[in-house]
Amino acid sequence: MSGAKPSSAGVLRVAVDCPLRTLLDYLPPPGQRAQDLPAGARVRVPFGARSAVGVIVAHAPGSLLAGNRLRAIAALLDPEPLLDAALLELLQWTASYYHHPPGEVIAAALPVALRDGHSALAQEEWLEITAAGVTASQDGEPRRAPRQRELLLLLAGLPTGISAAQLELQAPLWRPAARALAKRGWSALTVRAAGESAQLAPLATPAASPRRTALAAAPDLSAAQLQALEAIDAAAGRYGAFLLQGATGSGKTEVYLRAVARCLERGANALVLVPEIGLTPQLLERFRARLPVRMAVLHSALSDGERLSAWRDARAGRARVVIGTRSAVFAPIPQLGLITVDEEHDSSYKQQEGGCRYSARDLAVRRAQQAAVPVVLGSATPALESLQNVQLGRYHQLPLPRRADQALAPRLALIDLRAHAVHQGLAGPVTQAIARHLAADGQVLVYLNRRGYAPTLLCTSCGWIAPCSACDARLTVHREAAQLRCHWCGATAPLPTRCGRCGFTVKPVGQGTERIAETLAAMFPDAPLLRLDRDTARGAADIEAVMNALLDGSARILVGTQMVTKGHHFPGVSLVAVINADQGLFSTDFRAAERLAQTIVQVAGRAGRGARAGEVLIQTEYPEHPLLQSLISGGYEAFAAGALTERAAARWPPFSRLALLRASARTAAEAMSFLRAARECAGDRPPVRLLGPVSAAMARRAGRHHAQLLVEHAGRGELQRFLDAWLELVERLPEARRVRWAIDVDPLDIQ
């Protein structure tokens, strides 16, 4: 009954998936008491003219809303809390720190099916591989039954199993094959109540197959690894933040594995965060081979069904290790004992577009604090923020020097583009080095952060440049696809042969990965070459195939974008060429230099084996630039020290805190007038520094004008207090309804 008076039983504060920045008050369902409805449970509530699913966040004695305006909850959907108190607190903290509507933050943390109000306890048929099945699949069994073989391989890739409903979609005729596999003891079909909290027996370590045995073997830890492990282990049961710093291959993952193993031995569960591109089959296989427990894998490419079952496994404690990308930081994990964040500097940890713009790295630290558990941040190139936290004594640094059996540090050298003949973007010394390394049986990695054939299509007669009609951007030439493409809005057009203005011939100017690959293929016709960028690789499987070709030697040259700088170590690669370092040197974004240094060090770190150090050549027109100089002579540490000094002088983070109010509208005038009004809301003497509004570096994108207002203060608390009060005013501006706007706290990209 809506319209009832608030009873002494009190009201429930509910987060509903909507853009409101507040929780909503509801009465308990008729005949029930508020205190009998647990926080963290979902409820169905009347919301305007419709009904919605929400999550009870808190109980309150009464409401500010007049009693007769309060409505009652229609139904309780979970008899037990779906989200435990700790996770609920983390989600609320996230909503408040990033100034995002709490209902949206909580909804985004739930699998889609649960957002819709489906039962969290539904029964389902579940098919999974057995330990014997894993061994059989690795031995190529069953040889004469292709249907069964196919299903076994599918299951081998899904060690936590798959629901019958999901299988129905992927392999409609799976049942007979599953029955046959079950007879051989290779798969098991069960009915399970998802959400049950009983611990299942851990998966037994599968019987030996040579590959598995190699993976399962734990190496003796180096002294530095042991020291790191002991430090992390000594913090068990309380909060401690550690920065595990070591080059690629120095053994960071080995330390995570051991720390997770110890956490499991104590009966606690672990959360392992990896960057978007770091979640490779190899990494999963390594974790599976070494940790004989159930794991839940969470990443953005899961289907709704897969995500739901992984989420339920995590929540029930059936999965003892949750391993995932950004949003896995919100995974429900009972008895959390440890969090690790690999490649903590990676920008994929920050949600950059749409929704709540949180940093999973920072939230991992927050979650560890709340749960009183250790958190390990690992990187070869830590974010300057993290290094400063070490200096301030907030993080404990655990350095991992190169191991004795590891490749020597690569030799970095700058190639002055002004001092050498340059053919199609490649300086003479670089081409010669490639020839030399190929002749010596080495492999070559060529990095260029620009996909496509050429960034510009130019008329050689009138100077016309092919523009995007919806953006302030030039169209990129994609020769293989015979298209012009806008890398900002995705617009495409057929590749013209004549100028759009005067009809003269046009030519592509500048280099993209496609063109560099073409040039190198012509120069070195005998060396098998592969390209890796978003045009050649659609998904994880494509990336994997390219990486494997480099690892097994069937490719000798790899040309690629950012994608080649992450993930794998390539022992056979002896030369790395960075085609253009200059994009990062003169950007208006204060983080551009840090990103460039990280990229160079990361890509350099992929190369080399044993005593053979990798050689790294960096093409630049500014070899005297202090950033490049410090990087060459003193490595990432020297660069970071210099960069931190510069940040301090300029009052950039981590020496100040930023928030960016972004707006976009059909016209520049609308976007700007909203931001100006927002600035006025702050009063004549705001307690923070306001910079702008200004148009974004790429102002017009997909037909909309983008602009921004930067908010800065030395202190986090002061900035937060200002945002609290200010955004309430901004939200009510009439101009706010004519634009799309969002607040980005701790923005990564401020161009």
Binding stretches for ligand ADP (CB under 6 A): 219-222, 225, 246, 248-254, 403, 405
Interacting partner of 216 out of ligand ADP, Zn ion, none (Cβ under 5 to 8 A depending on kind): none
246 binds, among ligand ADP, Zn ion, none (CB under 5 to 8 A by kind): ligand ADP
By a kind-dependent CB cut-off of 5 to 8 A, residue 202 interacts, out of ligand ADP, Zn ion, none, with none
Q: How far is CA 446 from the centre of its chain?
A: 24
Nearer to Zn ion (CB atom), residue 402 or residue 534: 534
66: which residues sit within 8 A by CB, 6+ positions away?
Answer: none
Question: Which lies closer to ligand ADP via its Cβ, residue 253 or residue 656?
Answer: 253
Shortest CB 403 distance to ligand ADP, Å? 6
Residue 535 CB, nearest distance to Zn ion (Å)? 17
470 binds Zn ion (CB under 5 A): yes
666 contacts which partner out of ligand ADP, Zn ion, none, CB within 5 to 8 A by kind? Answer: none
Looking at 69, 211, 418, 501, which residue binds Zn ion (CB under 5 A)?
501
Residue 504 binding target from Zn ion, ligand ADP, none, CB below 5 to 8 Å by type: Zn ion
Q: Closest distance between ligand ADP and the C-beta of residue 404, in Å?
A: 9
3-state secondary structure of 571: coil
Cα separation, 344 vs 362, in Å, equals: 9
E-strand ranges in 310-407 read: 321-324, 336-341, 374-379, 396-400
Q: Which is nearer to ligand ADP, 92 or 282 (CB)?
A: 282
Rounded least distance, CB 255 to ligand ADP, Å: 7
Report whether 520 contacts 559 (CB < 8 A).
yes
Q: How far is the CB of 423 from Zn ion (least distance, A)?
A: 26
**Bridge partner residues of 243 (DSSP):** 377, 397
Least distance in angstroms from the C-beta of 375 to ligand ADP: 17
Helices (H), strands (E): how many in the chain?
Answer: 21, 33
Q: Are 553 and 419 in contact (CB under 8 A)?
A: no
Which residue lies nearer to ligand ADP by CB, 248 or 656? 248
Q: Which does 251 bind (CB under 5 to 8 A by kind): Zn ion, ligand ADP, none?
A: ligand ADP
- Per CB under 5 A, the list member of 70, 360, 415, 459 interacting with Zn ion is 459
254 binds, among Zn ion, ligand ADP, none (CB under 5 to 8 A by kind): ligand ADP
Q: Say whether residue 699 binds Zn ion (CB under 5 A).
A: no
Residue type, 282: Q
If one asks whether residue 524 binds Zn ion (CB under 5 A), the answer comes out as no
Cα angle at 439 between 437 and 444, to 5 degrees?
35
Q: Of these partners, Zn ion, ligand ADP, none, which one is at the site of residue 499 (CB under 5 to 8 Å by kind)?
A: Zn ion
Which span (175-183, 292-300, 501-509, 554-562) binds Zn ion, by CB under 5 A?
Answer: 501-509
- Rounded CA-CA distance 593/91 in Å is 33
Position 599, amino acid: T
Q: How many residues bind Zn ion (CB under 5 A)?
A: 15
Rounded Cα distance between 57 and 41, Å, is 8
Phi and psi, residue 571, nearest 5°: -60, -30
Find out whether 258 and 221 touch, Cβ atoms under 8 Å: yes
- The interface region with Zn ion, picked from 256-264, 413-421, 468-476, 613-621 by CB under 5 A, is 468-476
Region from 178-186, 211-219, 491-499, 607-615 binding Zn ion, contact rule CB under 5 A: 491-499
Q: Does 93 bind Zn ion (CB under 5 A)?
A: no
Is 486 a binding residue for Zn ion by CB under 5 A? The answer is yes
Residue 298 CB, shortest distance to ligand ADP, in Å, is: 20
62 interface partner picked from Zn ion, ligand ADP, none, CB below 5 to 8 A per type:
none
**Least Å from the CB of residue 453 to Zn ion:** 17
Which residue in the set 203, 471, 576, 688 belongs to the binding site for Zn ion (CB under 5 A)?
A: 471
The CB-of-742 to Zn ion minimum distance in angstroms stands at: 20
Q: Which residues face 497 on adjacent strands?
A: none
Which range touches Zn ion (CB under 5 A), out of 116-124, 279-287, 489-497, 567-575?
Answer: 489-497
Give bridge partners of residue 336 from the DSSP assignment: 269
Q: Would you count residue 499 as binding Zn ion (CB under 5 A)?
A: yes
Q: If residue 310 lies in a helix (H) or strand (E), which one and from where to where?
A: helix 304-316
What does DSSP assign to residue 163? Answer: E
* Minimum distance, C-beta of residue 355 to Zn ion, in the bound complex (Å): 23
SS3 state of residue 20: coil
CB 447 within 8 A of CB 578: yes
Region of 184-192, 237-245, 476-484, 503-511 interacting with Zn ion (CB under 5 A) = 503-511
- Pick from Zn ion, ligand ADP, none: which does 459 bind, CB < 5 to 8 A by kind? Zn ion
- Minimal distance in Å, beta carbon 283 to ligand ADP? 9
Pair 309, 297: CB distance under 8 Å = no
Residue type, position 545, single letter: A
Q: Considering the complex, state which of residue 343 and residue 518 has its C-beta at the smaller distance from ligand ADP.
A: 343
Cβ atoms 292, 202 nearer than 8 A: yes
- Transcribe 86-100 into DSSP letters: HHHHHHHHHHHHTT-
Q: Give the one entry of ligand ADP, Zn ion, none that residue 501 binds, where binding means its C-beta sits below a cut-off of 5 to 8 angstroms depending on kind.
A: Zn ion
Count of alpha carbons within 13 angstroms of residue 180, beta-carbon side:
16
| CA–CA dist 89, 106 (Å, integer) | 11
Q: In what order do the strands lie in the sheet with 573-578?
A: 411-416, 615-620, 573-578, 443-447, 557-560, 529-532
Q: Which residue has the tokens 């037990």?
A: 80
Closest CB 167 distance from ligand ADP, rounded Å: 34
In DSSP terms, which residues pair with 498 in a beta bridge? 505
H, E, C per residue of 147-161: HHHHHHHHHHCCCCC
The listed partner (ligand ADP, Zn ion, none) that binds 250, CB under 5 to 8 Å by sort, is: ligand ADP
Minimum Å gap between C-beta 286 and ligand ADP is 8
Q: Decide whether 88 or 616 has the Cβ nearer to ligand ADP.
A: 616
226 binds, among Zn ion, ligand ADP, none (CB under 5 to 8 A by kind): none
Q: Count of residues for the chain?
A: 751
* Nearest distance in Å: CB 490, Zn ion: 7
Q: Which of 85, 204, 419, 502 binds Zn ion (CB under 5 A)?
A: 502
Q: Is 509 in the site for Zn ion (CB under 5 A)?
A: no
Q: Which does 156 bind (CB under 5 to 8 A by kind): Zn ion, ligand ADP, none?
A: none
The single-letter DSSP state of residue 569 is -
* Nearest of 507, 537, 558 to residue 280 by alpha carbon: 537
Structural tokens at position 278: 């770091």
3 state SS of 333? coil
Contact 36, 1 (CB under 8 A): no
Residue 486, contacted partner among ligand ADP, Zn ion, none, CB below 5-8 A by kind: Zn ion
Least Å from the CB of residue 173 to ligand ADP:
40
464 binds, among Zn ion, ligand ADP, none (CB under 5 to 8 A by kind): Zn ion
175 residue type, one letter: R
Q: How far is the CB of 568 from ligand ADP (least distance, A)?
A: 9
Q: Which does 586 bind (CB under 5 to 8 A by kind): Zn ion, ligand ADP, none?
A: none
CA neighbor of 285 nearest in space, from 297, 300, 269:
297
DSSP state of 365: H
- Which is nearer to Zn ion, 106 or 459 (by Cβ)? 459
Query: Among residues 245 and 269, whose Cβ is nearest to ligand ADP?
Result: 245
* Euclidean distance between the first and the last CA atom of the chain, given in angstroms as a whole number: 52
Q: Which structure tokens are listed for 743?
A: 């607040």
Q: Are strands 422-423 and 426-427 parallel, antiparallel or unpaired?
A: antiparallel
Distance of CA 445 to the CA centre of its chain: 24
Decide: is 23 part of the binding site for Zn ion (CB under 5 A). Answer: no
Residues contributing to the site for Zn ion (CB under 5 A): 459, 461-462, 464, 468, 470-471, 486, 488-489, 491, 499, 501-502, 504
